[in-house]
Structure 1
Amino acid sequence: MNEAELLTDRERRAWYGLLTMQEDLHRHLSRELIRDCSITLSDFAVLSTLQMSGRAAMRVHEVRAAVRWEKTRLTHQISRMTSRGLLARIRCDEDRRGVWIALTDEGRAAIEAALPGHVARVRAMFLDVVPPKHLEILASISESVLEGLEEDADDTGS
C-alpha cells in the first residue's frame, strides 16, 4: 500500500474511535442487562423490536429487517429465546414456510423490566456525555452512511 491509500491520523481516529466506542458500549450494556435482567443485548434487540411494533406478532423477515442481522444469526437467536420461554413461534397460515414470532408473557415481562434501566444506562453512558449539537451531527452522519450502504446494496443486488 502506498501512503495515499492509508488513513490519515484524523481518519484513523474517527474510524477506530467509532469501532471502539461501539464495542465498548455493546459490552457495557450487555453486561448490565445480563446482571440486572438476565437477558442479553441480543435478547433485548429482539424483544424491544417486537414490543415496539405494537402488534401481536411479526414475521421473521420483519424482525430481521429491524435488527439488521443475518438470517442465520436471527434464527439461532429466536431458537434460544423460544427455548427460554421469551418468544413463541406461530405458524403462518398464508405462507406454509413462514413463521410469526410473538412475545410470550415472560418475554413481555422481561422487556418491560429491562427498558427503564437500559434507557437510563444509554442516557448515562452516551446521551449525557455527548453535547446536543454533536448528537444532531452524529444522527446526520449515521443517516448518510446508512443511505450510502443501502444504495451500495441496491447497486450490487444484495
Structure 2
Amino acid sequence: METQNGTRWLTDEEQRAWRTHLEVSRLLAYQLEKDLQAFGLTMNDYEILVNLSESEGHRMRMSDLAAATLQSKSRLSHQITRMETAGLVRRENCESDRRGLFAVLTDNGWDTMRRVAPHHVASVRKHFIDLLSSAELEDLYGSLLPVARHLRTQRGRV
C-alpha cells in the first residue's frame, strides 16, 4: 500500500505484529518495573546494578555506563546521584584521566543486587520466558536478532 508521497503503509499483518510488539514491550516493562518497586528500585537502577555487578572490579567509567544503558551522560549523572544517596553506588575519580569518573558498586549495592536478582529473574520467567516454548523462544530470538543488529549499527551513527 502506497500513498502519493511514496509512504509504504503497514499491511494488516505488519500492523498487527507492530502493535502487539509495542503492547508487549510496554506491559512487560510496566510489570517488571512494578515488581522491582517492591524493593525500592527502578528498572534504570537495576540495569545500572547489573552492569556494575558484571564489570571488572564492579566499576565502570561513567561514559561507558551511559553508553551501556542508553542514557545521556547528564541523565546518568542524576541517576547515579540518586543511587549514591541510597548507598548503592559511589563515584570515584579516574587516575588516568582527571576528567573521567567511575561509578562503583558499593557493598550495599552488591548485597541489594544479590537479594533482588532472584526475584527479578522469577518475574522475567513468570511474565515472559515460561509463557513460550523453547522453539518459540528460538524463533523469537531469530526474529529479533536482525532488528537488534540494525539498531546497534544505527546507534553507532548517532
TM-score where L is the length of structure 2: 0.88
Cα 1:25–1:153 change in 2 (3 A) is closer
> What pairs up with 1:20-31 in 2 under 5 angstroms?
20-31=23-34
Cα 1:118–1:83 change in 2 (3 A) is same
The alpha-carbon deviation at position 45 of structure 1 amounts to 0.5
1:88 maps to 90
Partner SS, residue 92 of structure 2: strand
Gaps of 5+ in 1: none
Aligned pair count reads 155
Residue among 6, 26, 41 paired with 2:9: 6
TM-score where L is the length of structure 1: 0.88
Cα 1:71–1:123 change in 2 (3 A) is same
CA distance in structure 1 between the aligned counterparts of 2:109 and 2:155, rounded to whole angstroms = 33
The alpha-carbon deviation at position 90 of structure 1 amounts to 0.2
The alpha-carbon deviation at position 60 of structure 1 amounts to 1.2
* Over 6 Å off, 4+ runs: none
Gaps of 5+ in 2: none
Residue among 46, 56, 61 paired with 1:44: 46
Partner SS, residue 131 of structure 2: coil
Partner SS, residue 128 of structure 2: helix
Give me the CA root mean square deviation.
Answer: 1.8
2:36 maps to 33
